[in-house]
Amino acid sequence: MKSIVILISGRGSNMEAIVRARIPGVRIAAVIANRPGASGLVFAQANGIDTRVVDHTAYADRVSFDDALAECIDAHAPDLVVLAGFMRVLTDGFVRRYEGRLLNIHPSLLPAFPGLHTHRRAIEAGVKVHGATVHFVTAELDDGPIVVQAAVPVRADDDEATLAARVLAREHLIYPQAVRWFAEDRLVIDGKGRVSVRGGCSDEVSAWIVPALDAPTGEAS
């Protein structure tokens, strides 16, 4: 059984997707928010998950906040820490502390469009394909070994909202899958920082998700 802690800042819809997936071999030890009013805490509590708040505004700087956050995380002794809409830039020391067991999801096909406003930037750039990426976190912002990506077409009539909604639906598929692969000890990072999935992946689901998902986590739509 793998224990995970999920970090959120707001609704935490990807946290919800992971909870709803009921991944075999995974116990969600806690959901921690950096904002007291994060609505995702209500969902977590309703599902019997321990919740904590480490309010970043109560700390003088990023280092002291990250130290307090790490202390809260470590109290649950997790095997994996999952960033699910956690809107804080983490210090190098924090990232090193959880190296190899810290996952993030970013709403673009990295390395394209790191940072904020990814959907607007994708539309402005005229790309035909956009998507989301689950990756291991490194000290560089929105960087690190890529676990899985999901792509969606960018339509001529898309605005930020419609494109974001289409990408978010894919995020809710690939993040539980990445957590499942981690829990099954199937993720292997080679010397060049590339991730492979031990045992291979199903090719029965849409090729827009790479590697393809394993049943029964979910199907692409």
Q: 216 pLDDT band (50/70/90 cuts)?
A: low
Across 34-55, average pLDDT: 98
| Mean pLDDT calculated for residue range 80-85 | 98
Residue 215 has pLDDT above 80, yes or no: no
> What average pLDDT does the segment 18-39 reach?
98
Please tell me whether residue 21 adopts helix, strand or coil conformation. helix
Using DSSP's 3-state secondary structure scheme, residue 71 falls into helix
3-state secondary structure (DSSP) of residue 106: strand
pLDDT in tens, 161-202: 999 999 999 999 999 999 999 999 999 999 999 999 998 775
pLDDT at 204 over 70: no
Average of per-residue pLDDT across 47-52: 98
For residue 215, the tally of other CB atoms under 10 A from its CB is 9
Could you give the domains of the chain?
1-98 (3.40.50.170)
**What tens digit of pLDDT does each residue of 111-122 get?**
999 999 999 999
Asked if 171 and 132 touch (Cβ cutoff 8 Å), the reply is yes
Q: Is the pLDDT of residue 205 over 50?
A: no
Q: What is the pLDDT of residue 220?
A: 39
Burial of residue 71, with CB atoms counted within 10 A of its CB: 0-12 exposed, 13-18 middle, 19 or more buried: exposed
Mean pLDDT of the chain: 93
Q: Model confidence over 116-172: pLDDT tens digits? A: 999 999 999 999 999 999 999 999 999 999 999 999 999 999 999 999 999 999 999
106 has catalytic annotation: yes
53 DSSP β-pair partners: 33
The active-site residue out of 106, 119, 130, 135 is 106
SS3 readout for 165-194 = HHHHHHHHHHHHHHHHHHHCCCEEECCCCC
User: Rg for the chain (alpha carbons), in Å?
Assistant: 17
- Please give the model's pTM, rounded to 2 decimal places: 0.92
Helix (H) or strand (E) holding 96: helix 92-97
Whole-angstrom Cα distance, residue 189 to residue 32?
A: 27
